Chains A and B, each alone.
Chain A
């Protein structure tokens, strides 16, 4: 039997709370983190079809990090540092008691350092002064700046990787961390998902792609409404999630508290379309089946799904179609929710936040509400979806994550008997 991998620490930076206790309380209460974007100065807000987002307001890295630690990295990497710090403390994980080469860092990030990226590009093209491009531009926008800075902050010298598969990035980070521990190349991995690119150019790009909600600019909290008939696109969010993964033996040896087991993972490509999923749901279904098989569980054993559910018309319907293909009659017995209804779509952070939520759901038996499910769309109805908080003693959780580039991931978590 292969090495078992468990989650021993959690960390969150989100539009509904920085810190797991704050986040989880707000999630169970069904608080929305979506608000109006006050300005994209100097660009007129009218130029943006969507004017709402799941923003983290008044974030100051120095409030959470040792002075200067976040100075040379972009906002997404600052989020990553804050989430990783919380997760390590939560796990009571002490680097000085570890072999540093046995502790890895795997980060999922979709966009990376776009705050500085956009600023420098703008200045270069406006001012035409190449010598004024900031010396830190390259280190900051290089997509592994977050995995690098997290390793440096804690002296984690094991495998250090960044996975960028758009919106499924950190679900793969979880899965690849599980693989690294199973393969014996690390005892523990700090897994982080992070993105912070509610920036003038990236946001305009998503607007132009017609991917974002535009009907609810005057009622931001109503905009992220997965599975509801009134949904009209996703709401962009920002944030980070972090999870400490370690082998069960390692966790037991240091008497760590265990949230859940990371029991299975699948990575596939639809090899179909850059941004549109296959409408029959077959590839998504295959991904879920492969992850369940890897975890050694049958569909009948699954209790809870943290759905990808971005609140797009096509995406949500395809996901439910796929869930029905895999789970048949059990589909309506599953508890299902959509974390993006609370915080929007945090892109590279989404999979890690789904991991945090699923771990908390398994340990607490509480399923956070899916906001704005006022008029469930018959095309993607599931009996276990609710705009109210649910109680479910779940033993097996499935996380779905799909990314642009025809990318699919699924991760299976199992409750660990206490």
Chain B
């Protein structure tokens, strides 16, 4: 299971790749819009990458809280942590969203039909 540092490094790296800048220059306190210059579309694109890195689906209602690099790290950490940590009450809509993820993810096994 991913450690906090793993999550943090991966997120910072994903941001650095997206922004084409040095990962060392990105701080958890950085505001995505004010400090990193991401507009709302760019935040969505960046989260799209992070969803892929961590195999997550981030529901729309969780987006509002994600305004700094640190918020994103904490949020993802909460989502990928082992079961006990999942109780972080920040995102009550999470569990159903997660189950929803599983279903489509299970389907590719049937894709031989297409091929």
User: Binary interface profile of A, 119-145, with partner B (CB < 8 Å = 1, else 0)?
Assistant: 000000111111110111000000000
- Measured between beta carbons, the chain B residues less than 8 angstroms from A68 are 20
Across the interface, do A135 and B107 meet the contact criterion of CB distance under 8 Å?
no
Q: How large is the interface on B (under 10, 10 to 19, 20 to 34, 35 or more residues)?
A: 10 to 19
- Complex CA distance for A136 and B108, rounded to whole angstroms: 24
Judge whether A128 and B107 touch: CB under 8 Å: yes
For B97, the closest partner residue in chain A by CB is A131
Closest approach, in angstroms, between the C-beta of A128 and any C-beta of chain B? 5
- B44 near A125 (CB under 8 angstroms)? no
A131 contacts across to B, CB distance below 8 A: 51, 57, 101, 104
| A149 → B minimal CB distance (Å) | 13
Residues of A within 8 A of B51 (CB): 131-132
Within 8 A of A (CB), among B39-82: 41, 44-45, 48, 51-52, 57
Q: A135 near B104 (CB under 8 angstroms)?
A: no
With a cutoff of 8 Å between Cβ atoms, the chain A residues found around residue B105 in the complex are 129
Please give me the residue from chain A that is nearest to B52 by CB atom.
Answer: A132
Given known A-B contacts A135-B44, A136-B45, A128 and B108 have beta carbons under 8 A apart: yes
Chain B residues within an 8 Å CB radius of A126: 108, 111, 114
Q: How many residues of A contact B (CB 8 A)?
A: 13
Are the C-beta atoms of A135 and B108 separated by less than 8 Å?
Answer: no
Instruction: Give the complex CA separation of A131 and B45 in angstroms.
Output: 12
Do the beta carbons of B48 and A127 come within 8 Å of each other? no
> Do B48 and A130 touch (CB < 8 A)?
no
- CA–CA, A201 and B20, complex, Å: 32
A131–B44 Cα distance when bound, in Å, is 12
Shortest distance between the CB of B67 and any CB in chain A (Å): 18
Docked-complex contact A134 and B48, CB < 8 angstroms: yes
Which of A67, A126, A127, A128 has the most chain B CB atoms closer than 10 A to its own CB?
Answer: A128
Given contacts A128-B104, A129-B104, A129-B105, whether A135 and B41 have CB atoms under 8 Å apart is: yes
In angstroms, Cα B45 to Cα A377, docked, is: 54
Q: How far is the CB of A68 from chain B (nearest CB, A)?
A: 8
Interchain CA distance A130-B41 in the complex, whole Å: 18
Task: Please give me the residue from chain A that is nearest to B19 by CB atom.
Answer: A68
Mask of A99-136 contacts with B, CB within 8 angstroms, 1/0: 00000000000000000000000000111111110111
User: In the complex the two chains form, is A130's CB within 8 Å of B104's CB?
Assistant: yes
Closest-CB distance, B103 to chain A (whole angstroms)? 10
Give the complex CA separation of A131 and B20 in angstroms: 25
User: What are the interface flags for B96-115 relative to A under an 8 Å C-beta threshold, 1 for contact and 0 otherwise?
Assistant: 00000100110110010010
Q: Restricting to A209-263, which residues have a CB under 8 Å from any CB of B? A: none
Give, as a whole number of angstroms, the nearest-CB distance from A240 to chain B.
Answer: 25
Contacts of B44 in A (CB 8 A): 135
Contact in complex: B111, A128 (CB < 8 Å): yes
Q: Which residue of A lies closest to B57 (CB)?
A: A131
In the bound complex, how far is the Cα of B44 from the Cα of A127, in angstroms? 21
18 residue pairs of the A-B complex, CB under 8 angstroms, read A125-B114, A126-B111, A126-B114, A127-B108, A128-B104, A128-B107, A128-B111, A129-B105, A130-B104, A131-B101, A131-B104, A132-B51, A132-B52, A134-B48, A135-B44, A135-B45, A135-B48, A136-B45
B residues with CB within 8 A of A: 20, 41, 44-45, 48, 51-52, 57, 101, 104-105, 107-108, 111, 114
Beyond contacts A131-B51, A131-B104: 16 other A-B pairs, Cβ-Cβ < 8 A, are: A67-B20, A68-B20, A125-B114, A126-B114, A127-B108, A127-B111, A128-B104, A129-B104, A129-B105, A130-B104, A131-B101, A135-B44, A135-B45, A135-B48, A136-B41, A136-B45
